[in-house]
C-alpha cells in the first residue's frame, strides 16, 4: 500500500504541476525539478533513491523507443553528420575535458573515476530542450538535430562510463575505448535491425490493434535486454528498432494499430518524462546529507560542482562553434556554399540540458570509489543547473537572437500541396477501377476528397471576418454530432439497446469528429505569409514565372457576373486575370486554367506570394 500510495502521489503531482506549468507558460520539466527539490526537504515525504537498474532498464528503453518511433528517419539521415558529431564527438570531448578538470580539483579520485564522472555528465537530454524549443518556436532543423543527438549520445556516454570503470587502475587507451564502442555500437545495430525484421514479419500478420499495441509495449525492453546480454549497447538497439519500425509503420501496421500505438506511446512518454524530472529533484536532500558526512569540505565540493557545471556548458559551446561549418552548414546548391548562421550555432550550443540518464549513470560508479558522494553531487548539480540556467534562458536567448521560428504558413502550403498530390494519385487509381455506381458513390468520394483539400488550402488565406466553407462545415457538423451523441446517451440510459451496439455507434461519432478538418485562417496568424522557397520537385512552369505585386482590393469579376461569392482570390501570371479559388462555389481559377491552359496562378490575398502550377500540382 505504501508503494501504491507513493506512485499515486507522484502521478497526481505530475498532473497538477504540468497543468500549472502550461498555464504560466513555463516548461514543465523546469517546474518539476524545483518542486522535487522542495519536496525532498518536506517532512513526511519518503526518501526515494533512483537506482541505475530502475532507470537504465525500466525508464530509458520506453523513453527512447517513444522518441524513436516518432522521429523521421528521412530527417535523421539528412542530419546524420551533425547528429553523429554531437552524439559521439561531443560526448567524448566533454568526457575528456571534464575528466581532466575533476582530476585536477580532486586528485585523490584517480583518472578512471575522473573520466567516469566526465562520461556521466556528457550526454544532454533533449526532453527539456525540445519542450522549450517547440514552445518558443526554434527552427525545425535545430529541434531535429537535438532530438537525434539525444537518441544516440546516451549510448556513447554509457559505453565510455563502462570502459572507465572497467579500466580501474590499469589505465585507459584510445584503442581500447574505440574497440569497445565499435563492438557495442555494432552489436546494438545488429540486434535492433534483427528485432525490426522479426517484429515487422509478425505485424504483417496481425490486424488486431490490441495485439499490435501489446507487441509494441514489449519491443523496447526486448531490444535492450537482448543487446545487453551479448555485451552490446541496449540503447542503440532500442533506437535502431524504433527508427525502423516507425519509418515502416505505414506499411506494416493497420490504420487502427497506428492510431492506438501513437496515442499509447504519447501517454507513456508524457508520464515517464515528467515523473523522471520530479524524481531528479527528490534526490537533493539525500545527496546533500551524504556530502555532509564525507571528508571533503563544502568549499571544495562547491568549487568542483560549479566548475563542472561551467565546463559542460563551455565545452559544448566551444565544440559546436569549432565544428560549425560541419554541424550546421545547409546543403550546398552546387555553386555556392552557404555560411551557417552563428545564431543557430549558439542556440544548439546553449540547448545542452542534462537529464535522468546523467543522474542514473552516476549511481553506476562503484561505491568504493574515493569521494563517490562528491561525484554524485556533481552529477546532480549539472542536471539541475543546466535545466534551470539554460532552460530558463533559452527562450530569452532565442528572442534576443531573433531566430526565425517555423512559419505555420509554410506548413500549410506544404500540407495543401501534399494532399493535392495524394488526391491526384487517388483519382488516378479511381479511374483504373471497374465499378457500377447507380447510387452516386463515386461523386460522394470526390466531394469528400475535395472538401479535405479545400480545408487545407483555406489555412493559407481567407477574408478577415468571414467564415470559410470548411469552418462553417466544422461548426455545423460538430453541433450535430454533439446532439447525436446526446441522443445516443439518452437511449443508452434507457437500456433498450445492447451496450455493445451503443459503444460502436459512439466510437463512430468519435472517429467522425476527429476527422473533421479544422482550419486556422491566415488573419489569425501573427505574421502574414511571405515568399516561399522553391520546392525540390522540378516544375518548368514555376521556374519560368516570378512573383508579382497584386492588388489588395481585387474582386472576382466572374463571381460578380453569376452572383456567387468567393473565399480567396488567385491571379493568373500569364494574363493577370483574377479568379476565385477552388474553395469558392464557382471555382473560377480552375475554370480559367481549363479554358486558357495558363499553368500558373499566384495567390492574390494580401501578404501572400505563393504560386501554384495546375499542370504538376506543385506550389512554391
567: nearest Cα among 496, 428, 480, 462? 462
C-alpha–C-alpha distance, residues 612 and 617, integer Å: 7
Helix (H, G, I), strand (E, B) or coil at 579: strand
pLDDT above 70: residue 129: no
The per-residue pLDDT for 533 is 43
Q: List the beta bridge partners of residue 613.
A: 600, 618
The per-residue pLDDT for 330 is 55
C-alpha–C-alpha distance, residues 471 and 356, integer Å: 44
In terms of DSSP bridges, do strands 618-619 and 611-613 run parallel, antiparallel, or are they unpaired? antiparallel
Residue 223: pLDDT band with limits 50, 70, 90: very high
Centroid of chain to Cα 357: 19
Three cell numbers, residue 449: 476528397
C-alpha–C-alpha distance, residues 551 and 134, integer Å: 36
How do residues 224-239 score in pLDDT, each as one tens digit?
Answer: 999 999 988 898 999 9
Three cell numbers, residue 465: 471576418
Three cell numbers, residue 616: 504538376
Three cell numbers, residue 232: 552490446
More confident residue, 127 or 141: 141
Least confident among 248-257, 309-318, 439-448: 439-448
More confident residue, 169 or 430: 430
C-alpha–C-alpha distance, residues 410 and 610, integer Å: 10
How do residues 318-340 score in pLDDT, each as one tens digit?
Answer: 999 888 777 666 544 444 445 66
Find which of 23-32, 85-94, 135-144, 524-533 is predicted with most confidence, using mean pLDDT: 85-94
C-alpha–C-alpha distance, residues 620 and 611, integer Å: 5
More confident residue, 375 or 449: 375
Q: What pTM was computed for the model?
A: 0.77
DSSP 190-214: HHHHHHHHHHHHHHTT---HHHHHH
pLDDT above 50: residue 159: yes
User: Please, are residues 588 and 556 in contact by the beta-carbon 8 Å criterion?
Assistant: yes
Q: What is the DSSP letter of 601?
A: E
User: Please, are residues 87 and 154 in contact by the beta-carbon 8 Å criterion?
Assistant: no
Helix (H, G, I), strand (E, B) or coil at 538: coil
Helix (H, G, I), strand (E, B) or coil at 554: coil
User: Please, are residues 105 and 303 in contact by the beta-carbon 8 Å criterion?
Assistant: yes
Q: Is the dihedral of CA 199, 201, 203, 206 positive or negative?
A: negative
Helix (DSSP H) and strand (DSSP E) numbers for the chain: 27, 5
More confident residue, 267 or 550: 267
Mean pLDDT, range 363-382, rounded to an integer: 86
**Residue 11 parent element (H or E):** helix 2-24
% residues pLDDT > 90 (the chain): 19
Q: Which residues contact 76 (CB under 8 A, 6 or more apart)?
A: 83, 144, 148, 243
Outline where DSSP puts E strands in 20-114: none
Please list the alpha-helical segments (H only) found in 204-254: 209-229, 234-252
pLDDT above 90: residue 190: yes
* Cβ neighbour number for residue 7 with a 10 Å cutoff: 11
The per-residue pLDDT for 522 is 43
The per-residue pLDDT for 335 is 40
The per-residue pLDDT for 333 is 42
pLDDT above 70: residue 173: no
Least confident among 237-251, 344-358, 542-556, 603-617: 542-556
Reading across the β-sheet that carries 600-603, which strands appear in turn?
578-580, 569-572, 600-603, 611-613, 618-619
Q: For the stretch 274-292, what's the b/e string if a residue is b when 16 or more beta carbons lie within 10 angstroms of its beta carbon?
A: bbbbbbbbbbbbebbeebe
pLDDT above 70: residue 85: yes
User: Please, are residues 420 and 537 in contact by the beta-carbon 8 Å criterion?
Assistant: no
Mean pLDDT, range 355-364, rounded to an integer: 80
Residue for cell digits 482570390? 569
The per-residue pLDDT for 13 is 92
**Residue 618 parent element (H or E):** strand 618-619
Mean pLDDT, range 344-366, rounded to an integer: 84
pLDDT above 60: residue 523: no
Mutual orientation of helices 284-293 and 372-401 as an angle, nearest 10°?
130
pLDDT above 60: residue 171: no
261: nearest Cα among 307, 301, 310, 220? 220
Residue 290: pLDDT band with limits 50, 70, 90: confident
**Residue 186 parent element (H or E):** helix 174-203
The per-residue pLDDT for 351 is 86
pLDDT above 80: residue 140: no
Least confident among 21-35, 187-201, 407-421, 497-511: 407-421
Amino acid at each position: 500500500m505504501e508503494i501504491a500510495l507513493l506512485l499515486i502521489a507522484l502521478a497526481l503531482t505530475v498532473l497538477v504541476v504540468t497543468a500549472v506549468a502550461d498555464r504560466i507558460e513555463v516548461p514543465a520539466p523546469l517546474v518539476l525539478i524545483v518542486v522535487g527539490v522542495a519536496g525532498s526537504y518536506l517532512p513526511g515525504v519518503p526518501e526515494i533513491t533512483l537506482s541505475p537498474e530502475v532507470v537504465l532498464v525500466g525508464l530509458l528503453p520506453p523513453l527512447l523507443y517513444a522518441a524513436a518511433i516518432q522521429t523521421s528517419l528521412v530527417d535523421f539521415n539528412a542530419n546524420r553528420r551533425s547528429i553523429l558529431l554531437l552524439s559521439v564527438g561531443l560526448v567524448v570531448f566533454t568526457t575528456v575535458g571534464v575528466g581532466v578538470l575533476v582530476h585536477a580539483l580532486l586528485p585523490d579520485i584517480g583518472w578512471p573515476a575522473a573520466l567516469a564522472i566526465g562520461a556521466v555528465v556528457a550526454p544532454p537530454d533533449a526532453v527539456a530542450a525540445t519542450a522549450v524549443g517547440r514552445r518558443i518556436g526554434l527552427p525545425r532543423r535545430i529541434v531535429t538535430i537535438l532530438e537525434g543527438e539525444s537518441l544516440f549520445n546516451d549510448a556513447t556516454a554509457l559505453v565510455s562510463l563502462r570502459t572507465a570503470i572497467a579500466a580501474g587502475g590499469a589505465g585507459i587507451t584510445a584503442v581500447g575505448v574505440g574497440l569497445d564502442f565499435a563492438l557495442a555500437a555494432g552489436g546494438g545495430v545488429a540486434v535492433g535491425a534483427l528485432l525490426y525484421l522479426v517484429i515487422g514479419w509478425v505485424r504483417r500478420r496481425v490486424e488486431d490493434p490490441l495485439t499490435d499495441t501489446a507487441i509494441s509495449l514489449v519491443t523496447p525492453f526486448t531490444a535492450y535486454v537482448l543487446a545487453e546480454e551479448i555485451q552490446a549497447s541496449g540503447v542503440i538497439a532500442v533506437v535502431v528498432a524504433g527508427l525502423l519500425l516507425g519509418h515502416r509503420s505505414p506499411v506494416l501496421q493497420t490504420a487502427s494499430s497506428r492510431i492506438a500505438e501513437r496515442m499509447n506511446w504519447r501517454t507513456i512518454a508524457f508520464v515517464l518524462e515528467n515523473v523522471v524530472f520530479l524524481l531528479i529533484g527528490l534526490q537533493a536532500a539525500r545527496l546533500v546529507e551524504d556530502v555532509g558526512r564525507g571528508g571533503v569540505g563544502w568549499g571544495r565540493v562547491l568549487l568542483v560542482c560549479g566548475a563542472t557545471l561551467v565546463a559542460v556548458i563551455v565545452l559544448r559551446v566551444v565544440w559546436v562553434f569549432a565544428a560549425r561549418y560541419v554541424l550546421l552548414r545547409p546543403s550546398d546548391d552546387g555553386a555556392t556554399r552557404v555560411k551557417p548562421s552563428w545564431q543557430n550555432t549558439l542556440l544548439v550550443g546553449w540547448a545542452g540540458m542534462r537529464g535522468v540518464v546523467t543522474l542514473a549513470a552516476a549511481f553506476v560508479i562503484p561505491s568504493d570509489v574515493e569521494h563517490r558522494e562528491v561525484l554524485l553531487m556533481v552529477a546532480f548539480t549539472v542536471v539541475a543547473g543546466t535545466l534551470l540556467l539554460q532552460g530558463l534562458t533559452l527562450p530569452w536567448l532565442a528572442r534576443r537572437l531573433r531566430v526565425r521560428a517555423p512559419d505555420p504558413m509554410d506548413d500549410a502550403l506544404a500540407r495543401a500541396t501534399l494532399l493535392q498530390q495524394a488526391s491526384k494519385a487517388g483519382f488516378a487509381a479511381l479511374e483504373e477501377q471497374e465499378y457500377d455506381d447507380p447510387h452516386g458513390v463515386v461523386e460522394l468520394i470526390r466531394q469528400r476528397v475535395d472538401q479535405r483539400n479545400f480545408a487545407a488550402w483555406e489555412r493559407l488565406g481567407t477574408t478577415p471576418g468571414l467564415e470559410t466553407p470548411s469552418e462553417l462545415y466544422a461548426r455545423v457538423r460538430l453541433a450535430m454530432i454533439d446532439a447525436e451523441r446526446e441522443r445516443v446517451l439518452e437511449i443508452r440510459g434507457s437500456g433498450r439497446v445492447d451496450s455493445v451496439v451503443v459503444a460502436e455507434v459512439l466510437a463512430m461519432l468519435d472517429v467522425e469528429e476527429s476527422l473533421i478538418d479544422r482550419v486556422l485562417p491566415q488573419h489569425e496568424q501573427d505574421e502574414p505569409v511571405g515568399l516561399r522557397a522553391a520546392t525540390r520537385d522540378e516544375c518548368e512552369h514555376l521556374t519560368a514565372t516570378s512573383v508579382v505585386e497584386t492588388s489588395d482590393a481585387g474582386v472576382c469579376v466572374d463571381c460578380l457576373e453569376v452572383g456567387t461569392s468567393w473565399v480567396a482570390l488567385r491571379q493568373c501570371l500569364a494574363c493577370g486575370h483574377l479568379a476565385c479559388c477552388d474553395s469558392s462555389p464557382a471555382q473560377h481559377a480552375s475554370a480559367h486554367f481549363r479554358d486558357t491552359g495558363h499553368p500558373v496562378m499566384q495567390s492574390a490575398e494580401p501578404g501572400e506570394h505563393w504560386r501554384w502550377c495546375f499542370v504538376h500540382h506543385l506550389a512554391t
